Amino acid sequence: MAPRRPRGIPPPQCGKPVRLLKQVSELAREAGDERNRYADFLRAVSIVLVVVGHWIVIDLELDSDIPEGINALAQSSWIHWGTWAFQVIPLFFLVGGYANAVSWRHHRDEGYTWASWLRRRTLRLLWPTAIFVTAGLVFTPLASLWDVPVAILSEAAWAIAIILWFLAVYLAIAVVTPLSFRAHERWGIGFVLLLIALVAGVDAIRFLGEVDLVAYVNYALVWGAFHQVGYLWADGELPSLPSLAVGVVISLTAAFALVNWGPYPVSMVSVPGAEVQNTAPPTLALLMVGVAQIGFVLALRQLVRPRLEGDSNLWRATVAGNVAIMTVFLWHVVPVLVLAWILSTLGVSLPSPPGSFSWLAFQPIWILMLAVLLIPIVLVVRHGERPPEKLEKLASRETTGWSPLALGLGGVAIACVGLARLTLAGFWVGEPTVIPVWGALAFFVGGIIVLGTGSLGKAPR
């Protein structure tokens, strides 16, 4: 077999920040021209928007004796329109679909099985997530022994873990890439249009037939549709620039109509207390906003690509944004807790209420403080971005037959259920030293099953 294609942008193996910057520069120079640098750029921009968006909507009430976290979206309705720009999870699925298409086609052409590909792909997500989950399960209960108020600890444990929902959904969609990619090869954009029609049908049954449970099917349909567009991109089957522009206008118009005359809220991020949420489960309105986002960024690719060529500053920034992207995603809420403790200890109050001019003017300072706190966390934790070599070798073993595939898919399903449970419960369930056992157990057991299927195969040639 031919040598495997290098995996994305590897995390730098260095200790000091200065050495880290040097190695990022080296990675930027060494990146081949065959890379789709715009996909890397979108991934980096998306993680920045996700982090900043989360930081903005998290507000702190520090005037009382016990600090309290407040969701700014629940306090100010005009902020809801900003979620149309900051809700960029559709872009993650777009880029994920592109990367999975390229990766699966390469492995398939080289003769690797679905089970072998699944194991390698899954390990890259499960390993840094396992470190994060372990830290949450260990330190959150310990904090309950340090006289941290129960209300604060319970809320913090949930806020840190809530981001795990994305990984559960993404893993579930990514591991069936061989099936969804086959649908793409057969029907192309027609399959995307079918998914959009199904989303509309599901919402019609939900709101007109008052069958709420059917809405959960949209987790697969909405996010799966964005993932399928990534396949179109990978195969060069995207619509022309004028068609993309028309698509953006149509989808935005549809989104405006849905939130103004339909049952959908304006916010594309969940708002506490709202009867209908556009993300939990996802709706047709979110799908339309996501289609507009994707059409917009894909229309810009010819404009941005020249600025990513060679060793440009924009390409270096893109590489820097990708080298520890999982670490940043998983750990970016932790600085909020640290800053809340610091400000509460110092007796500092923050501008309020959310949405006011003083609150808005303070946001750049707020974001800067959190970014400063996030940097040392990333420098320490990023070493867990890449799995140990022994685990990589185990994941790389070639397996054939249906048993490794069935076990691998079953393991992923169990791990996703565990992540979903941790998303809902957080890392602490309200009693000292008590953790959400079943969620944690399902995640780790599922991951072990997936990785363990490598023992059924042989070392790669």
3-state SS class at 58: strand
Residue type, 267: S
pTM here?
A: 0.89
- Mark residue 426 as left, alpha or beta (left: phi above 0; alpha: psi -120 to 50; beta: remaining): left
Specify the residue for token string 């923050």.
Answer: 350
Residue type, 460: P
Q: Do 370 and 320 meet the contact criterion of CB atoms below 8 Å apart?
A: no
Interior angle at CA 56, CA 53 and CA 57, nearest 5 = 90
Q: Domain ranges in the chain?
A: 24-127+152-382
Q: What is the pLDDT along the chain (461 residues), one digit of tens a residue?
A: 333 343 455 544 444 555 556 665 666 556 666 778 899 999 999 999 999 998 998 887 766 666 677 778 888 888 899 999 999 999 999 999 999 999 999 888 888 889 889 998 898 899 999 999 998 888 877 777 766 666 667 777 778 888 899 999 999 999 999 999 999 999 999 999 999 999 999 999 998 877 778 889 999 999 999 999 999 999 988 888 899 999 999 999 999 999 999 899 999 988 888 888 999 899 999 999 999 999 999 999 989 988 888 778 888 888 888 888 899 999 999 898 888 878 877 777 777 788 888 888 999 999 999 999 999 999 888 888 888 888 878 777 777 778 888 998 999 999 999 999 998 878 765 554 456 778 889 999 999 998 888 776 665 55
In angstroms, the CA 265 to CA 259 distance is 6
